[in-house]
Amino acid sequence: MKNTPTNFLRASAIAVCFALIPLTGLAQNSNSSSAEMKESGSEVKKAGTSAGHNVKHGRVVRGGKHFGKHMGRAGKHFGRGTKKAGKRVGRGTKKVVKKVIS
C-alpha cells in the first residue's frame, strides 16, 4: 500500500474508461438503407417474442396489441430503407442518363 496515489490514479483511469465505453455504441451512424432494413428485421423478431410471451401468460389481447405496434415500427423502418435505397438508385440513374444524353 505504499503506492496509494498511483493505485488511486490507475483505478480512476479504469473507471473513466469503463464509463465512456457505452458512448461508442451511440456514435455509430445507422443512417443507411441496409441499417434500416436490419432494424426492421429486429423489430419483427421483437413482435413475435412479445406476442408469444403475452399469449403464453394468457394475455391474448395485450399480445396482439404489442404485436401490432412492433409490426408497425418494422414497416416504418422498412419504408425508410426503401426510400433511401430508391433515392440512391435514382441519383445513379440520373447521372448515367446525363452522360448518355450529353
pLDDT of residue 99: 86
* Residues 54 and 66 sit within 8 Å (Cβ to Cβ): yes
- Pairwise CA distance, residues 23 & 12, whole Å: 18
Q: Quick one: pLDDT band at residue 90, thresholds 50, 70, 90?
A: very high
Q: How confident is the model at residue 101 (pLDDT cuts 50, 70, 90)?
A: confident
C-alpha–C-alpha distance, residues 87 and 94, integer Å: 10
Other CB atoms within 10 A of residue 62 CB: 15
Torsion sign, CA atoms 9, 15, 19, 25 = positive
Q: What is the mean pLDDT of residues 70-92?
A: 93
Tens digits of residue pLDDT in 21-37: 655 555 555 678 889 99
C-alpha cell at 25: 455504441
Q: Report whether 9 contacts 47 (CB < 8 A).
A: no
| Confidence at residue 65, expressed as pLDDT on a 0 to 100 scale | 94
User: Is pLDDT above 70 for 66?
Assistant: yes
Give the model's pLDDT for residue 4: 75
Q: For a pLDDT cut of 70, what percent of the chain falls above it?
A: 72
